[in-house]
Structure 1
């Protein structure tokens, strides 16, 4: 695309962000806000349990539709290379040209640099994905469009979307409404919060783009929070405590075949005994996988050790996908479990503590299970930390310095991800 057009889209995008700031304080419909002096951008996070697995979304302003300001709910994906959502591409957009209640965006040509770049380095490459094609054209447009591969985070199936220039990011991709049948209700997009150059953070103002913080809620009835910006992040229920005072830090690592975030875990300690992790192991963070998945050799070591330290708790028949479960019913009354912590020892010596609330999942009234999953003998990456282990933990992705700050469970501080005051400014 010509450089003047790119600059035009950049200017329009910044203008849209300014509109968002105004709307945030004038419209109760939209809940994302900037905290003065515009160095902290705040999104409430919603938990969904009406799909095949728990998922989390934020609401993002898209563009004008029928002279209205629409908002779409986007699944949070810290691994996706680019954002994609419910829209159509149309080359001759003018007032009244789009179907009613449909979002239209401008197409990217297969001859544009962005098309080649996304296809070469940022599109999903998988044997199940369709091959690249330049055969698709829009009616009346003299150029070929740019189909790119996307993967449904619920089903894992690969499909194609049309790359476009829009006002969410300079580059996103459009898919038809029918693509979201597996998604939670009212969720019609995936927003990329990865380290890809086409991810959402790349299109934000410099003051907020280099720091992403995430605090997932543990309930559908409460809201978590996602921040852009370096803080502070106040917990008003504790006299405006800045949650950064709770954080430990570890380096963020990169994987050559992923735009996600990785850690170096050297061992997992359960009641003073260590399960050693091979030196070349990378641990991935995921907002799509519901439970931490481990390669079989690591998983089996955890199960053996955990079984030993909980041998006084009555066992229960395992319920898939879990391999170790416990009876939580005593004389017909449900009782809570208190089990030893797991400490993930990181490469710089700090530890991320997984306490009972993030290790034990209540499945039925009578059965609770260790919420870790066997990923198989050849699982790659060897460890993927899932969202159940994130809930009510505060995670700060310092993208400038490539570090992760983590709190362990806020519940241990008599707090939670739902306690943030989303209307507080970032001044004491």
Structure 2
């Protein structure tokens, strides 16, 4: 059983936890089984004040030998696939295997066929996941990205953060290609917003150009966030003039994108938006086939 936190709000105790892991046959869920995670911290409530109301902790999914994937059955631990939902009411899915993966309604289409791959880049003293971005293209025009720019893939940052020099170029270009849209007063943390309605907006794609000519397309559902009933904003944030790494891709840009972190081959696989394939991250068959 999981250990209990101390009564003091200032204590952070090293502990262990017991988690439920669900086995699948690529298309359906089976009943779960228990697995132990020997390294867990029982932290003071002050350390999670910035979390959403229904979140009580975090799980490490990095390449560290202390992160949870390292304690899975060994053949499963080197490939992590993540598919985050775009709606709070919809479930996402995470796999610890090489696939195949199937999402409804195309139950015979392996989602891996949608993936493009780019090398993962190791960073000294970091167990995070990094790739290189050579340029950013909006409306067929390239925004220059300094050579050897490292890009972090983060599930801790809610939106993509760009160093100021890159951010200014993206905002300037995006403003030009959306000049037909009616501007609105910015809503923090965003600086470029538009008047809209519940029908949303349609804007040009933002393409991250990767090594070997690969392209990760950020389409409207991942580039523009509806922040109020009448206002939508470009969901990119200015990280400051000295931000390192220069680009951090956050979770809003991950939503309804199938992502594969392959530590066996040191590659990162990405689908771009599954909505263009008429499916989503909430479309796995989550019905327990052994349920009554």
Q: TM-score range by the shorter chain?
A: 0.7 to 0.9
The equivalences for 1:24-423 within 5 A come to: 32-35=21-24, 167-169=36-38, 171-176=39-44, 179-185=47-53, 187-329=55-197, 334-422=198-286
Please identify the structure whose Cα radius of gyration is greater.
1
CA offset at residue 336 of structure 1? 2.3
CA distance change for structure 1 residues 190 and 239 in 2, over 3 Å: closer, same or farther?
closer
Q: Partners in 2 of 1:40 and 1:193 — Cα distance?
A: 23
Say if 1:235 and 1:243, in contact at 8 Å, map to a contact too.
yes
SS in 2 for 1:274: strand
Say if 2:274 and 2:281, in contact at 8 Å, map to a contact too.
yes
CA offset at residue 186 of structure 1? 5.2
Q: How many residues align?
A: 273
CA RMSD of aligned residues (A): 2.7
SS in 2 for 1:173: strand
Say if 2:200 and 2:226, in contact at 8 Å, map to a contact too.
no
CA distance change for structure 1 residues 328 and 256 in 2, over 3 Å: closer, same or farther?
same
CA offset at residue 181 of structure 1? 4.5
Q: Partners in 1 of 2:204 and 2:113 — Cα distance?
A: 25
CA distance change for structure 1 residues 60 and 218 in 2, over 3 Å: closer, same or farther?
farther
TM-score by length of 2: 0.86
Say if 1:270 and 1:342, in contact at 8 Å, map to a contact too.
yes
Q: Partners in 2 of 1:42 and 1:228 — Cα distance?
A: 14
Q: Partners in 1 of 2:224 and 2:189 — Cα distance?
A: 13
CA distance change for structure 1 residues 298 and 178 in 2, over 3 Å: closer, same or farther?
closer
CA offset at residue 298 of structure 1? 0.3
Q: Residue by residue, what CA displacement relative to the aligned partner does 1:196-232 show, whole Å, maximum 9, x if unpaired? A: 1211111111221110000001111110101111111
CA offset at residue 242 of structure 1? 1.1
CA offset at residue 41 of structure 1? 11
CA distance change for structure 1 residues 340 and 183 in 2, over 3 Å: closer, same or farther?
closer
Say which structure is richer in helix.
Answer: 1
CA offset at residue 183 of structure 1? 3.4
Structure 2: gaps (5+ residues): 1-15
SS in 2 for 1:300: helix
Say if 1:40 and 1:230, in contact at 8 Å, map to a contact too.
no
Say if 1:234 and 1:242, in contact at 8 Å, map to a contact too.
yes
Higher relative contact order (CA 8 A, sep 6+): 2
Structure 1: gaps (5+ residues): 1-12, 21-29, 44-58, 63-166
Q: Partners in 2 of 1:327 and 1:366 — Cα distance?
A: 6
CA offset at residue 343 of structure 1? 0.6
CA distance change for structure 1 residues 423 and 251 in 2, over 3 Å: closer, same or farther?
farther
Q: Partners in 1 of 2:200 and 2:40 — Cα distance?
A: 46
CA offset at residue 403 of structure 1? 0.3
Residue 106 of structure 1 corresponds to none
CA distance change for structure 1 residues 182 and 276 in 2, over 3 Å: closer, same or farther?
closer
Q: Partners in 2 of 1:181 and 1:374 — Cα distance?
A: 23
